[in-house]
Chains A and B, each alone.
Chain A
Amino acid sequence: MSNWHKVCRLEEIPPRGSRVVPHGAGSIAVFRAADDHVFALRDVCPHKGGPLSQGIVHGHRVTCPMHGWNVELDSGEACAPDHGCARRYETRVEDGEVFLAL
């Protein structure tokens, strides 16, 4: 069972950007797309473990800064022709407050 957790205000994440949330031994990248959709992925690229939070966000995708893999923000899946998946977390935004299911 996962619980909803309060992360931050929506405006604390830059549009087309991300913030890093500490979680256990690793981190979670919380992304905000230009259309204000919020997504959360484990901050580890399925390719070589690069920090996805540091990538360029475009549409509902992020490009890993390490070797340019593109990862779908809603599923965590790498875009073809690459294969792999970053763990995703449910998010919701309520009254400008961002929540994460952990």
Chain B
Amino acid sequence: MDKQKLVVVGNGMAGIRAVEELLKLAPDLYDITVFGAEPHGNYNRILLSPVLAGEMTLADIVLNDLDWYKNNGITLHAGKKVTKIDRVKRLVIADDLAVPYDRLLLATGSTPFILPVPGKDLPGVIAYRDIADTEAMIAAATNHRHAVVIGAGLLGLEAANGLRLRGMDVTVVHLLDWIMERQLDQAGADMLQASLEAKGLKFLLGKQTEMLTAAPDGRNAGRVGAVRFKDGAEIPADLVVMAAGIRPNTALAESAGLYCNRGIVVTDTLQTYDPKIYAVGECAAHRGTAYGLVAPLFEQAKVCANHLAQHGIGRYQGSVTSTKLKVTGIDVFSAGNFTGGDGTEDIVLHDKNGGIYKRLVIEKDKLIGAVLYGDTADGGWYFQLLKEGRDIGAIRDHLMFGDAFANNHVGDVGHAGASQAAAMADTAEVCGCNGVCKGTIVKAIREHGLFTLEDVRKHTKASSSCGSCTGLVEQILASTVGGAYQAADRSTKPVCGCTDFNHNEVRHAVRSMKLLSMDAAFKALDWRTPDGCATCRPALNYYLISTWPHEAQDDPQSRFINERAHANIQKDGTYSVVPRMWGGLTTPDELRRIADVAEKYKVPTVKVTGGQRIDLLGIKKEDLPGVWQDLGMPSGHAYGKSIRTVKTCVGSEHCRFGTQRSMSMGVELEKMLFGMWSPHKVKLAVSGCPRNCAEAGIKDVGVIGVDSGWELYVAGNGGIKTEVAEFFCKVSTREEVLEYSAAFLQLYREEAWYLERTVHWVQRVGLESIKQRVVADAENRKALHQRLLYALQGTIDPWLERTQGVARHEFAPLPAPIDINGEHHVELA
């Protein structure tokens, strides 16, 4: 059967992105033909400004070179303008060509708005839209002196800045009283104007252009010579750049009889009124909005491709956008509704001399808009709050001071700074786990046209291990790809490439549909891959067993090797064994057995861990059951997304300062939690007095004894980023310590996403909401406690089971293969 034919009109970022997404989903479904008016492959239009400014070259901004089209079997007609669509015969007509289509994708972009004034057609009058315009500006800058940019929006200012850097005398003319009025309020705009003036730009505001006049006789005869305004004033101009806005390019669609209203009107599946014809990008009007920024175009491209691939599960529901000005050395960020109105309030920070202006617009405890000037490091965070519509009531006092301060991060400030990323040397290390420096990341982004954090992780491995440099990598992405970058929205992000569902949706489905096995889940949720991947399988397995304890089937093949082998794999493929020492307590007998095991199995390294136990490192996998047998101690679960340890101090059992019996409290807690699987590892500590020798302040649950009872702290973390635990509540009895701790941890088990530590879960849902459900609501607390106890009922020590023969195949290698001629195989490799 012949393949279906897909024709794409428009060879720009939106159209080609849709094709790329389509190739990922259904590489062989269509014969693809692409028409582009410009004689190039696809390039990153957003980066024309850095090219104009001389910071990048044209070669740097190519996203898909001609080989890409060839390698993907795409026919490209570059430099051919489509003149007509015949919807009856399903033909696209360009000059002498007529190409049939089964599906048509319009991505015709936008056209610059040219002021209808006399002289608009004079040589030297251009728009700022494509490579040709950029080249014309670069040429003009070498031969001419006076440039006038009409329009002080994003594009106009970037053009003006580039021309100024290329040595021209630049005046920006604007009809309104302040610049970038669509992105900035007046206070922010005035500061921006002042710093642009300091760079040598001139501004004429509130000026209406009447006409462009030709130069008198001489070298420039016939070329534009001056701009005259309605008030009679006139300024010299050898180059006029019209940057007064863009209009969706709908001419072709309209001529084909497709319904257009400020753009080609499309549905949530990006289809026009003719369902065989799709439209994405700046030419499309979705729910009344035509987007001029790249991030929404990419979202549209994804949904459109999904529909073209006949998956039909995506739906585009509009985008909240943010903008950033790409003028080196000037940081401007704005998002959402920054002008406010009835029922909104402003929080403003205005430091004129310091060059910092921040305005946050709030409506009913939600952030609805933000303007940042001078310090945009927290732009991404505000944008996230805005998009997710999070309740900021609890952090309102600190909101203005940014993520690091509001969320009490320690040591995160440097990692989040935009200016830091831009100022870093190419040789500076970004990812300490994988040894990736900034230059490598920037190079990968440019060479492979990367736009997302996931892409960068795949190509460079940066931020793919511990994740602590994620903020920094995001900033590098933002500064390298400009406005094309949009921080991933964590709450709506799919679990992985195998599904479009996010963690919440998967969890909800597991519960509401009572899914009890991996295969049932793949089927019910329409997984794209037959059996998932290494990212989704462990998550799904956890959701199954945590939601339906004693009912769901635990799938060892969906667990990471450590949890399958019940030991920690080491770099050389050997394993480490950490037997449990309840509350950090041990006996001479246990120590003797550990010593015997270490000798018998020639354990190369014996180490005391941070969790108050002993680690035997370098054990061969096949020796594990024997080691466990000889130790005769239960598993320490040092390898699991599970309860790890309960660290204790000596407490009032021995200590002269101790006020509570912390060792026995720790042992009780640890025994209660034994065998508990959780979204990520869980560590506890119990200290017997406020001197807190057990370091309870950096544990998932920290318990500190005081004279009148116990204080509970939660969501601390001593790892990647030290996070100090927050005070949760104070209780008087040991039974209460057990009940409150269990309830908190059960809520975490039921609600956190897989691989989310308590601290990140608490930051996401808010400590107040957790306190409400655990501390204030006694009935709910008791129910949570009971659910945890039920889940852990009958837990068997996994080591004991395995010494008795469970999962023997996991540990025993197969015998040497037998030559089928009957000969035993002994050849050396």
Contacts and interface: CB of A to CB of B under 8 A. Distances in A.
A60 to B, nearest CB: 9
Nearest to B448: A81
Given A24-B829, A51-B573, A54-B573, A68 B534 contact: yes
A37 to B, nearest CB: 11
A14 B557 contact: yes
Interface string A51-71: 100111111010101111010
B813 A54 contact: no
Given A15-B557, A35-B530, A58-B537, A102 B827 contact: yes
A14 B809 contact: yes
Given A19-B809, A54-B561, A65-B561, A3 B819 contact: yes
Contacts of A63: 533-534
B254 to A, nearest CB: 42
A5 B815 CA distance: 12
A17 B275 CA distance: 45
A26 B827 CA distance: 12
A3 B814 contact: no
B827 A5 contact: no
Contacts of B565: 54
B813 A21 contact: yes
A15 to B, nearest CB: 7
Contact of A100 (B817, B821, B827): B817
Nearest to A21: B814
Interface stretch (B78-86, B376-384, B456-464): B456-464
A55 B565 CA distance: 11
A22 B523 CA distance: 37
Nearest to B565: A54
A12 B814 contact: yes
Nearest to B534: A63
Nearest to A43: B573
Interface string A23-45: 11111001000110000000000
Contacts of A100: 817
B828 interface: yes
Nearest to B455: A81
B569 interface: yes
A44 B571 CA distance: 12
Nearest to B558: A56
Interface centre among A7, A19, A35, A54 (most CB of B within 10 A): A54
Given A6-B818, A25-B828, A58 B461 contact: no
Nearest to A35: B530
Contacts of A3: 819-821
B727 interface: no
Given A56-B537, A58-B531, A68-B464, A20 B814 contact: yes
A64 B828 CA distance: 25
Contacts of A21: 813-814, 816-817
B584 to A, nearest CB: 29
Contact of B560 (A19, A30, A56): A56
A100 B458 CA distance: 33
B825 interface: yes
Contacts, number: 109
A34 B527 CA distance: 15
Interface in B780-829: 809, 813-821, 825, 827-829
B458 A81 contact: yes
A20 B531 contact: no
A96 to B, nearest CB: 15
B763 interface: no
B529 interface: yes
B702 interface: no
B817 A34 contact: no
B636 interface: no
A25 B537 contact: no
B573 A58 contact: no
Interface string B452-482: 0000001101001100000000000000000
A34 to B, nearest CB: 5
Nearest to B827: A24
Given A6-B820, A20-B814, A58 B533 contact: yes
Contacts of B537: 56, 58
A35 to B, nearest CB: 7
A35 B814 CA distance: 22
Nearest to A51: B573
A5 B533 CA distance: 31
Contacts of B814: 7-8, 12, 19-22, 30
A22 B531 CA distance: 28
A8 B537 CA distance: 27
Contacts of A51: 569, 573
A35 B450 CA distance: 34
A10 B334 CA distance: 61
Given A12-B809, A25-B829, A102-B825, A58 B817 contact: no
A56 B534 contact: yes
A55 B813 CA distance: 15
Given A35-B530, A51-B573, A59-B530, A7 B817 contact: yes
B817 A23 contact: yes
B41 interface: no
B573 A50 contact: yes
B532 interface: yes
B825 A34 contact: no
A59 B465 CA distance: 24
Contacts of A4: 819-820
Contacts of B569: 51, 54, 65-66
A102 B813 CA distance: 18
Contacts of A54: 561, 565, 569, 573
B829 A19 contact: no
A69 B413 CA distance: 32
Interface of A: 3-8, 12-17, 19-27, 30, 34-35, 48, 50-51, 54-59, 61, 63, 65-68, 70, 81, 99-100, 102
Given A4-B820, A34-B531, A68-B464, 4 more contacts: A17-B557, A56-B561, A58-B532, A100-B817
24 contacts: A3-B819, A6-B818, A7-B814, A14-B556, A16-B531, A16-B558, A17-B557, A19-B813, A21-B813, A23-B817, A24-B827, A24-B828, A34-B531, A54-B573, A56-B561, A57-B557, A58-B529, A59-B529, A59-B530, A65-B562, A66-B569, A68-B464, A68-B534, A102-B825
Q: Which 3 A-B pairs have the closest CB atoms?
A: A24-B829, A63-B534, A5-B817
